[in-house]
């Protein structure tokens, strides 16, 4: 397989994983807004926290980014994922903010239900 094909495969997989995590972050937000908190909400929260731990362990880089670096010398923020450059650049800031807001909403819903 050519390096360009390997990079394409990594970008494709990376984009699918990104879509999954963005989807569950918005699911958590939906649960917090609607109050429909269930086991899937907590599984989603756990998965996002797990992703955060992985990022911390890899010095704030996705492991797929490190693998993709072997096949590209691009300095663009989106060299390893099919996203507009500005989203790739501010991805962590954007979606961490949304996640924290969503998690606060969920916790408020849970706490007001029981207190």
DSSP assignment, residue 27? H
pLDDT average, residue stretch 46-52: 98
pLDDT of 114 above 80: no
pLDDT average, residue stretch 81-110: 98
Percentage of the chain exceeding pLDDT 70: 100
Please choose, from the candidates 40, 31, 47, 49, the residue with its C-alpha nearest in 3D space to the C-alpha of residue 110: 31
- 72 Ramachandran zone, left/alpha/beta (phi>0; psi -120 to 50): beta
What is the average pLDDT value for the chain, to the nearest integer?
Answer: 97
Q: What is the pLDDT of residue 113?
A: 85
pLDDT of 115 above 90: no
Percentage of the chain exceeding pLDDT 90: 97
pLDDT average, residue stretch 36-58: 98
């Amino acid at each position: 397989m050519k390096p360009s094909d390997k990079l394409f495969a990594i970008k494709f997989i990376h984009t699918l994983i990104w879509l999954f995590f963005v989807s569950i972050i918005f699911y958590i937000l939906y649960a917090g807004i609607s109050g429909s908190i269930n086991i899937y909400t907590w599984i989603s929260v756990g998965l996002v926290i797990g992703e955060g731990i992985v990022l911390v362990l890899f010095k704030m880089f996705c492991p797929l980014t490190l693998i993709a670096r072997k096949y590209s010398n691009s300095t663009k923020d989106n060299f390893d994922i099919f996203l507009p450059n500005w989203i790739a650049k501010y991805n962590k800031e954007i979606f961490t903010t949304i996640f924290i807001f969503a998690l606060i909403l969920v916790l408020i819903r849970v706490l007001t239900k029981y207190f």
